[in-house]
């Protein structure tokens, strides 16, 4: 049940639907990095829990490049 709860918060982070708490996480931990690329392990219990379920996140996330016009590598 905790994994499902954490995945809900991750969904909000990925879609930018978090308000003030998301701005705090972005400033304190992400610092401009995408969530799945960020490797900071220390911090709050929320952040540590998010870091622990990264593999679960990767199992359910996919990226679509469409026609490739807006995709940068």
Can you tell me the distance from the alpha carbon of 30 to that of 20, in angstroms, rounded to the nearest whole number? Answer: 14
pTM: 0.68
User: Residue ranges of the domains in the chain?
Assistant: 3-60
* Contact (Cβ atoms closer than 8 angstroms) between residue 33 and residue 22: no
Is the CA virtual torsion 39, 42, 44, 46 positive or negative? positive
Q: What would the pLDDT profile of 45-54 be if each residue is shown by its tens digit? A: 889 988 888 8
Residue 44 tokens read as: 């709050």
Q: What is the mean pLDDT of the chain?
A: 83
């Amino acid at each position: 049940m905790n994994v499902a709860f954490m995945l809900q918060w991750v969904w909000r982070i990925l879609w930018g639907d978090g308000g003030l708490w998301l701005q705090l996480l972005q400033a304190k931990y992400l610092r401009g990095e995408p969530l799945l690329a960020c490797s900071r392990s220390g911090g709050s219990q929320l952040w540590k829990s998010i870091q622990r379920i990264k593999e679960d996140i990767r199992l359910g996330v996919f990226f679509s490049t469409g026609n490739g016009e807006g995709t940068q590598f």
